[in-house]
Structure 1
Amino acid sequence: MEQLDLDAIGRDEKIELLMDKYGEEVKRLVYTYAKDHSAAEDITQEIFITVYVKLDSFAGKSSVKTWIYSIAINKCKDHLKSWHMRKMTVQENIKELLKSNRRGPDDEVIDKQDSEQIVDHVLKLAIPYREVILLYYYRHLSIKEVSEILGISESTVKVRLHRAREKLRKPLEYLERGEDIG
């Protein structure tokens, strides 16, 4: 895991470096919660404002990435609890999360449809299950990193991953058999 040397530079340079390094990644993470590009951009800005304000309180007990992800997830949860979020209709479209790597155009269309169906089912999971699936499988974080980001034990992460996979098992079986899982 790469550690950034933030002690060697000034506060403004630190935030600029962190935004360059993690900005797009954080925005994609935020989008998986907000499911709206405009809201994701706004929340991402709020996250980096919080990072800027709290830079001096970063103790280095975890990686900078883990610390920023923790802030991001907390901001996302606050957003989901907000009055505005509860009153508005959200759209579900996260195609950029998945990329096709199959052979021909027909396979790419099929892959895209299958991926969208899987993502739709992941997004329908309750937040505790959705966030561990997204962090572990889509963000490729370790169980330890997911644990640190969410502020839960590693065993809780493992249990949530197991339960999430169980909830996704049937839709994935339908998909493997070539049946519509909608």
Structure 2
Amino acid sequence: MNDQLERIVDEYSTHLLRIAYFYTKNRHAAEDIVQDVFLKFMEANYEERGQLKSYLSLLTINKSKDYLKSWAYKKLQFETKWWMKTTDQDHLVQQEERSKIGAAILKLSLKYREPIILYYFEEMSILQVAQVLQVNENTVKTRLRRAREQLRPVLEGDWEVLNHD
């Protein structure tokens, strides 16, 4: 079991870290979330049905949403707003923020960021995105369209997705 778990961690940790970071915008929180996801996975009796990546992604999304609702996150937002603390950011954060596309997506509200991440980066179908977010398929389509409209002025010519509505 340890070899199998090690393989799963090696294979999916970067992917899950990216998802958590897109939600939290905080590297340390994203690492904690991914660690919690793997701990929960170890405790669960997961039966392989060829959907492990989706399963772990959904766990990560849910943990990230829980974090965004938590007191710790709200306290951090308050402190950041009032004291404007600056911290050294490591390579992953700098890489994500340097990316023009990633930076533009991070500026979207969560309502529009979620469908963009799930649809374009997780390569989920509209139906799958609707199921994960627990909204109607038409709501997903509308949020994707509005997100692309918000991204278009910033990323015109940089992201080919915006050229195809």
Would you say same fold, with TM above 0.5? yes
SS at match of 1:55: coil
Quick one: distance in 2 between partners of 1:96 and 1:139? 19
Contact 2:24 2:64 in 1 (8 A): yes
State the alpha-carbon separation in 1 of the partners of residues 126 and 94 from structure 2: 25
CA contact (8 A) 1:67 1:149 kept: no
Matched, 1:123 2:106: yes
User: For 2:70, which of 70, 82, 104 is the aligned residue?
Assistant: 82
Using the aligned pairs only, state the percent identity. Answer: 38
Q: Return the offset for 1:25.
A: 0.8
Residue 175 (structure 1) shift: 8.3
The one-letter amino acid of 2:71's match is W
Aligned to 2:43: 53
Residue among 153, 160, 164 paired with 1:170: 153
Aligned counterpart in structure 1 of residue 8 of structure 2, from 12, 18, 24: 18
Distance (whole Å) between structure 1 residues aligned to residue 67 and residue 144 of structure 2? 24
Instruction: Report which stretch shifted further, 118-127 or 42-51.
Output: 118-127
Q: Structure 1 length as normaliser, TM-score? A: 0.65
The residue type equivalent to 1:134 in the other structure is I
Question: Whole-Å Cα distance in 2 between the matches of residues 63 and 32 of structure 1?
Answer: 22
1:31–1:40: 8 Å Cα contact kept in structure 2? yes
Separation in structure 1 between the aligned mates of residue 158 and residue 11 of structure 2, nearest angstrom: 36
What's the RMSD between the two structures over aligned residues? 3.3
Displacement, 1:42?
Answer: 1.1
Instruction: Count how many residue pairs are aligned between Structure 1 and Structure 2.
Output: 148
Say which structure is richer in helix: 2
- Corresponding residue of 1:65: 53
Distance (whole Å) between structure 2 residues aligned to residue 147 and residue 67 of structure 1: 15
**Stretches of 4+ moved more than 6 A in 1?**
90-93
Mapped to 1, the partners of 2:103 and 2:7 lie a distance apart of 34
Deviations 1:27-80 (A, max 9, x none): 111111122222211111001111122234x584x7111111111000000111
Larger Rg: 1
> For residues 7 and 26 of structure 2, what CA distance do their matches in structure 1 show?
26
Q: 2 CA distance for matches of 1:149 and 1:68? A: 12
The residue aligned with 1:96 is 95
1:156-180 deviations in Å (ceiling 9; x for gaps): 322221121122233345989xxxx
2:124 aligned with 1:136: no
Residues 66 and 148 in structure 1, CA contact (< 8 A), matched pair in contact too: no
Instruction: Give the distance between the partners of 2:29 and 2:113, measured in 1 at CA.
Output: 19
Q: State the AA in 2 paired with 1:32.
A: F
Where does structure 1 lack aligned partners over 5 or more consecutive residues?
1-9, 99-111, 177-182
2:20: which partner in 1?
A: 30
TM-score by length of 2: 0.71
1:123 to 1:74, Cα distance in 2 relative to 1, 3 A: same
Letter in 2 for 1:49: L
Deviation at 1:148?
A: 4.4
2:75 partner letter: K
